[in-house]
Amino acid sequence: MSTINVSVKQCGTCRYWDAVRSIQINAGKPLYVKTDSKKHPCIISQTGKETYANTTCSYYQKWEKL
């Protein structure tokens, strides 16, 4: 299980990363994203690239649930 701060621009907090995630909320604001630490596909990647939650790339867009 990986825990990523919501302010970090990594795959675990990106809208294109296709994995099961949950948001940890503190004082009514999202603080962390908890996700699986295995490789998962990036929906936007045209090469079928699989990434870990802590990977970064140029396609990053903040997850709409954050």
Asked whether residue 41 is assigned to any structural domain, the reply reads: yes
pLDDT tens-digit profile, the chain (66 residues): 889 999 999 999 999 888 899 999 999 999 999 998 898 888 887 677 888 999 888 889 999 998
Asked whether residue 11 is assigned to any structural domain, the reply reads: yes
Residue type at position 56: T
Asked whether residue 20 is assigned to any structural domain, the reply reads: yes
Asked whether residue 36 is assigned to any structural domain, the reply reads: yes
What's the total number of domains in the chain? 1
Instruction: Determine the Cα–Cα distance for residues 24 and 33; give it in Å rounded to an integer.
Output: 6
Domain of 41 in residue numbering reads as 2-51
Asked whether residue 31 is assigned to any structural domain, the reply reads: yes
Instruction: Determine the Cα–Cα distance for residues 36 and 4; give it in Å rounded to an integer.
Output: 11
Is the pTM higher than 0.75? The answer reads: yes
Asked whether residue 40 is assigned to any structural domain, the reply reads: yes
Asked whether residue 61 is assigned to any structural domain, the reply reads: no
Q: What is the pLDDT of residue 46?
A: 66
Asked whether residue 63 is assigned to any structural domain, the reply reads: no
